[in-house]
Structure 1
Amino acid sequence: MARATVTLPQDLLTELMSLVDAKTKTEAVLTAVRDEIRLRKAARIKAMAGKMEFIADADELRHGDHRLG
């Protein structure tokens, strides 16, 4: 795990700890960072909606990969 020194306003950190129900500052910041990463990944996936063609049918998905023989 990498160590980093970050200066945050106390009121912002206190509010974050309350919102995410964290017991420590580290736990609060880790939760916030993970949530932000998850939200941005979800937004990228949503942005792809309608831009890709999916041609597999349910039977193909259920019965595996044709490359496996």
Structure 2
Amino acid sequence: MTASLFATGTSVPTVARGLRAVAHAVARPVVDGLDASVCGVLVTAAAGRDWPSASDGERCEECARIAG
């Protein structure tokens, strides 16, 4: 098993407003909490969630382009 380079985060304004979550890629190492995604959006990062396995919900197009 290989480690992922990216974790998953959820946009902070989306969480605050209760809107549909959009997954963003966050560069590792990650500490749970606020971080900047690879596209530059402030997100709530979750170290335990891998970007490649984040299939629930919509993905950020720019993060998908950068992180693959």
- Give the TM-score normalised by structure 2: 0.20
Structure whose CA Rg is larger = 1
- Give the TM-score normalised by structure 1: 0.19
More helix per residue: 1
More strand per residue: 2
- Which fold has the larger relative contact order, with Cα–Cα distance below 8 Å and residues 6 or more apart in sequence? 2
